[in-house]
Amino acid sequence: MTEYRGVAVSAGRIVGPVLTMAPPVAEPPAGATLPEGTDAAAETARLEQAAQAVRVALEQRAASAHGGAKAVLEATAQMAADPTLVQSAAGRVASGMSAERAVWEAGDEVAVMLEGLGGYMAERAADVRDVRARIVAELRGEPAPGIPGSDTPFVLAARDLAPADTATLDPQVVLALVTSDGGPQSHTAILARQLGLPAVVAARGVDTLTAGTEVFVDGAAGTVTDEVTEDHRRLAETWADLQRNPLTYEGGGARLSDGTVVPLLANIGGAEDARAAAEAHADGVGLFRTEFLFLDRDEEPSVEEQTAAYTAVLQHFPGKKVVVRTIDAGADKPLPFLTDTDEPNPALGVRAYRTSWEKPEVLAHQLEAVAAAAQATEADVWVMAPMISTLEDTEDVVGRIREAGLRTAGIMVETPSSALTADRLLQVADFASIGTNDLTQYTMAADRQLGALAALNDPWQPAVLALVGATCRGARAAGGDAEEAAGDAVTKPVGVCGEAAGDPALAVVLVGLGVSTLSMTPRSLPAVARVLGSVSRDEARVLAQRAVGARTAVEARETVRAALPVLAELGL
């Protein structure tokens, strides 16, 4: 038996056969020519047949797909049917170039041309390169790149998933995701949590499993096992029962066993997310990621466009809190009109709030739009800025938010400095929201984009939990509670909006540390509410101290999980 241990990113237990994602198609060697004695006309015919085969395969997959996946496959099939690519490649073959190299260069030429046109046409450049790769794979007799097609459910094993891969992922067929690379904040991890799929990342070697091998995936423990036992099947069936009879959340906050209520909010990125969160009975929004409107733009959207987009979100939450995060540009979200792509270390560079130092007008326009949207709706709008490190940062951004006419101004705690000085920062700011993704990255000095550092980027790290506790103690001090020990007089609210809040066991720890609200993907609301309901605040405090006092992240997680039998009952 081989057990692959990785990082747990989405709970759930699954038994199923593995299918591995084909590796990216390697670029044909530059200068590759037709094999000696090969007729150019015959090679062109082979090229045309390969393109036709790709088109047919994509159309067949599109016919059985649904929603966004269907649209993506249909668009790619149309690109494969467009004669421009094949004609351009055929001209190169006639000049003596190999078919593989000819279609590769022709694809680049067409893609660059589309990118130059901008707008919708530029977005099609990725489709051209996808088709190009598929034609090369067909010519070589290799598997097509991307997620394999299958009529039966399977566990998808891969090195990692690119954003483009996920467009064709069907959660009705893919049972779980396991990758050898990636981290807890990778695209794969975020997608898994959004879809409710069990997932393990950074499990070295899982991408080498033989297709068809039956495995047991434990998304809570972070393990993949290739020898399935009856106990594994029982655990998987418990999880399956939960999917057939899912937990529900009716709003009103999670009620602890002693009657304490903890509001459960949603993380969203736009109007469609807002609608889904409202339908899931979220008690509001703890993180509205506004950069959805800015990404892939060459220039700043107008105040009018921003106002309309924010209004479309806020209207879903009349009378409820919506925490708007100002633009979080930079690092893994560069913007050509705002950030410097040549920074040697962008995660530690001029990102998020810091971009307002040189270009204050972008933040000013955004705050103007948020204020207008707040006026146009009945939502209780709170605004916070990311990447705040000092009291000067806090005074500056809180002043800007209030000058824009917005009543409730806060900060994100994502750096150790803001956690350790929260008592001073929260004398100025009205609230704090802890972004555990970045707080973990900066505390552990580990780039969250690197799969090799995934074990460090674990919010269960005792050092990270200690900083969460320090933030909450600072909030009590700023709110007038002089007690260093746990007390309930936290008049400066502290929320958590990082992915940690959606882990039911970790949610117990966060509440025990003094966090007042939790914000997560709407799919996580029912499980978090159910598990929080199994403990009192005093019990949560005891578990929080055990986690902070643990020697390792693994020990912290296992200690807390062992004390929460409800997790096993729910298959979590």
pLDDT attached to residue 484: 46
The pLDDT of residue 568 is 84
pLDDT band, residue 511 (cuts 50/70/90)? very high
The residue with tokens 């067929």 is 173
497 is an active site residue: yes
Q: What is the mean pLDDT of residues 481-491?
A: 50
Q: For residues 163 and 147, is the Cβ–Cβ distance under 8 A?
A: no
Q: What is the mean pLDDT of residues 291-299?
A: 75
Indicate if the pLDDT at residue 106 is higher than 70: yes
Instruction: Give yes or no for residue 486 having a pLDDT over 50.
Output: no
pLDDT digits (tens, 9 = 90+) for 4-32: 988 888 888 999 999 998 777 888 988 78
Question: Taking Cα atoms as reference points, which of 132, 126, 158, 160 lies closest to residue 144?
Answer: 132
- Give the per-residue pLDDT at 164: 57
Query: For residue 268, which phi and psi values (nearest 5 degrees)?
Result: -135, 165
Domains of the chain, each with CATH number or no CATH: 3-20+168-244 (3.50.30.10), 40-140 (1.10.274.10), 255-569 (3.20.20.60)
Token pair for 487: 């007390």
Q: Is the pLDDT of residue 488 over 90?
A: no
Phi, psi of 5 (to 5 degrees): -105, 125
* Three-state DSSP class for residue 284: strand
Closest CA relative to residue 559, chosen from 513, 499, 514, 506: 506
Task: State yes or no: pLDDT of 72 exceeds 80.
Answer: no
> pLDDT exceeding 70 applies to what percent of the chain?
90
Q: What token pair was written down for 277? A: 């969160």
Task: Give residue 340's pLDDT band: very low, low, confident or very high (50, 70, 90).
Answer: low
Compute the distance between CA of residue 420 and CA of residue 256 in angstroms, rounded to an integer: 28
Is a pLDDT exceeding 50 seen at residue 320?
A: yes
pLDDT attached to residue 342: 67
HSE-CB for 481 with a 13 A CA cutoff: 19
Cβ 154 vs Cβ 19: under 8 Å? yes
Mean pLDDT of all residues in 366-390: 96
Helices (H) and strands (E) in the chain, counts: 22, 18
Inform me whether the pLDDT recorded for 74 exceeds 50.
yes
**344: exposed, middle or buried (Cβ count in 10 Å: 0-12, 13-18, 19+):** exposed
Confidence of residue 482 (pLDDT cuts 50, 70, 90): very low
Select, from the ranges 68-77, 303-312, 327-336, the one with the highest average predicted confidence (pLDDT). 303-312
pLDDT of residue 485: 41
Q: Which helix (H) or strand (E) holds 422?
A: helix 422-425
Lowest mean pLDDT among 397-401, 455-459, 492-496: 455-459
Q: What is the mean pLDDT of residues 51-75?
A: 75
What percentage of the chain has pLDDT greater than the value 90?
A: 49
The contacts of residue 210 (CB under 8 Å, 6+ apart) are: 18
121 pLDDT more than 80: no
Strand order in the sheet with 13-20: 3-5, 223-225, 214-218, 13-20, 154-158, 174-179, 199-201, 7-10
* pLDDT for residue 483 is more than 60: no
Beta bridge partners of 218: 13, 223
Q: Per-residue pLDDT tens for 155-212? A: 999 888 765 566 667 888 999 999 988 777 666 777 787 788 899 988 999 988 999 9
User: Which one has a higher pLDDT value, 303 or 25?
Assistant: 303
- Is the model's pLDDT at 539 over the cut of 90? yes
Q: Is the pLDDT reported for residue 542 higher than 50?
A: yes
Residue 410 pLDDT > 50: yes
What is the torsional sign of CA 515, 521, 522, 528? negative
Over residues 246-252, mean pLDDT = 91
Structural contact between residues 201 and 185, judged by C-beta atoms closer than 8 angstroms: no
Decide if pLDDT at 487 tops 60. no
Please, are residues 516 and 493 in contact by the beta-carbon 8 Å criterion? yes
Predicted pLDDT at 39: 82
Q: Is 187 a catalytic residue?
A: yes
Q: Give the global pTM.
A: 0.76
Query: CB within 8 A of 433, min separation 6: which ones?
Result: 286, 287, 323, 325, 384, 410, 411, 412, 413, 494, 495, 496, 497, 519
- Please report the beta strands in 445-527, taking only residues with DSSP state E, as ranges in sequence order: 494-496, 517-520
Of 232, 316, 472, 497, the active-site residue reads 497
Which of 100, 217, 197 minimizes the C-alpha distance to 147? Answer: 197
Average model confidence (pLDDT) for the chain?
A: 87
pLDDT at 563: 97
CA dist 537 and 283 (Å) reads: 20
Among 133-142, 160-169, 285-294, 544-553, the minimum mean pLDDT is found in 160-169
Residue reference for tokens 């241990």: 5
Strand segments, DSSP code E, in 250-353 are: 254-255, 261-262, 264-268, 284-289, 321-325
**Residue 399 to residue 401: CA distance in whole angstroms:** 6
Q: Copy the structure tokens of residue 461.
A: 């790290």
Q: By C-alpha distance, which of 331, 293, 343, 276 is closest to 522?
A: 276
User: Side-chain half-sphere of 316: how many Cα atoms within 13 Å?
Assistant: 24
Name the DSSP letter for residue 145: S
Work out the average pLDDT over 488-492: 62
Q: Taking a C-beta distance cutoff of 8 angstroms, is the pair 382, 431 a contact?
A: yes
What letter does residue 302 receive in the DSSP assignment? Answer: P
Determine the pLDDT at residue 47: 87
